[in-house]
Structure 1
Amino acid sequence: MTRDQSIVFIVDDDVYVREAIEDLFRSVGHDVQAFGTTDAFLQAPRVDLPGCLILDVRLPNTSGLEFQREQAESGFHLPTVFITGHGDIPMSVAAMKAGAIEFLTKPFRDQDLLDAVHRGIALDRRRRTELAILAGMKERYASLTSREREIMDLVVAGQINKQIAGELGLSEMTVKVHRAQVMRKMNAKSLPELVRIADHLSSATTRA
């Protein structure tokens, strides 16, 4: 996978609209997967690339808005651009509140759709980068011993070596050795950087 690769998913029950959008995005270099129903989209093998979903509002069985809500509740994070031939303001507001990045009423300009999807792909690429960074932090934190984790917690809470030694019943030299190990394992070059790492880990745990 190269850095610039991306994929566009299309879910629209109108085959002519689906094919026209597919041709548009292939013409500018994107991989594309197009489906007539949300069920077909969910059942298809998913290519692991930064991407964006173009979703018709009116679909058989499940509406695009219902599908968006269901997927958001299940942890689905693919940026979504809604398209519709029957849009109205309340519908567009509901879609945007639920996390859609754009709501376009047919007929729309090709450039408007391209711009919206490119914004979605950029968001997904950034999300993936942030997840990879967080995964690295979690892996490094998992490599700490229980004592090192204790010391890291106290260090980021602002305690100095002497205070940590007193609280844990250790010598200051032992605390210094453990602290150095924490900095090395967590790949932190400074105390502020270690604090930022701890904040990221804490925030991720809270969100989970």
Structure 2
Amino acid sequence: MSTESAFLVHVIDDDTSVRTAISLLLLACGYRVFTYESGTQFLECSVPDEPSCILLDVNMLGFSGLQLQEQLKAKNSHIPIIFLTAYGDISMSVRAMKAGAENFLSKPVSKDELVNAIEEANRRYMNVQIARSNLNELRLRYDHLTEREITVFHMVVRGLLNKQIAFQLGNSERTIKAQRSSIMEKMQANSFAELVLIATQLGILGTEMN
């Protein structure tokens, strides 16, 4: 694993000895590691936008790991969080996982358990990035629809037939058929089912038409 491509792990723990031990372990496993003594220090740093995860202690001076998780969630952060603590309990772990934590590990943690959790976080990060990229591509396609095509799109995915759409919009059925064909082409949908899936991903279904 080259230095440039190595997965980055942000280690946040107020115990210097723990930060050092974990950092040395992860570096030996081929990861890149940034360390922070508090959640505040992490928030004040300019975190690079690259494949990474956060290895986070729960009980720290200042605000806790759970509070940092809440702040990152409010900032719409997509970096997976792995909690690592010596004082965790079931309710704490449930709270962390419900808030979107990748994993909740107890100290001391074995090398294999830690590496497995980081690799799973790596896979989750990449899957999220792929999903975001795909959604951005769908939004770009949607932006190329005309105002009338957008209206027809919303009606089509709600199951209206061409003649029903034509009646409601005061157009001919032939016109609606042509617009529907254009929508399918611009959205790169090969079937009605695929168009419905795209609409679901864009959040169109379940919303009111403008």
| TM-score, with length taken from structure 1 | 0.87
**TM-aligned CA distance change 1:83 to 1:179, over 3 Å:** same
Q: Distance in 1 between matches of 2:157 and 2:114?
A: 46
Mark the runs of 5 or more structure 2 residues left unpaired by the alignment: none
Cα contact 1:188–1:194 (8 A) shared by 2: yes
Structure 1 position 57, deviation (Å): 1.4
Structure 1 position 202, deviation (Å): 1.4
Structure 1 position 93, deviation (Å): 3.2
Report the more deviating stretch, 182-191 or 5-14: 5-14
Partner of 1:189: 190
Deviation digits for residues 141-171 of structure 1 (CA, Å, limit 9, x no counterpart):
1111111011111211222222222221212
Structure 1 position 56, deviation (Å): 0.9
Q: Secondary structure at the match of 2:203?
A: helix
| TM-score, with length taken from structure 2 | 0.86
**TM-aligned CA distance change 1:91 to 1:150, over 3 Å:** closer
Q: Distance in 2 between matches of 1:112 and 1:152?
A: 48
Mark the runs of 5 or more structure 1 residues left unpaired by the alignment: none
Instruction: Give 1:2-81 correspondences, 5 Å limit.
Output: 5-81=6-82
Partner of 1:176: 177
**TM-aligned CA distance change 1:88 to 1:196, over 3 Å:** closer
Q: Distance in 2 between matches of 1:168 and 1:17?
A: 67
Deviation digits for residues 28-63 of structure 1 (CA, Å, limit 9, x no counterpart):
332221111112111222221222110011212111
Q: Distance in 2 between matches of 1:95 and 1:147?
A: 45
* Counterpart residue identity of residue 182, structure 1: I
Q: Distance in 2 between matches of 1:205 and 1:132?
A: 23
The number of aligned residues is 203
Deviation digits for residues 156-208 of structure 1 (CA, Å, limit 9, x no counterpart):
122222222222121222222211211111111111111110111116997xx
Deviation digits for residues 64-104 of structure 1 (CA, Å, limit 9, x no counterpart):
12222232234233221111233333333333333323222
Q: Percent identity?
A: 39
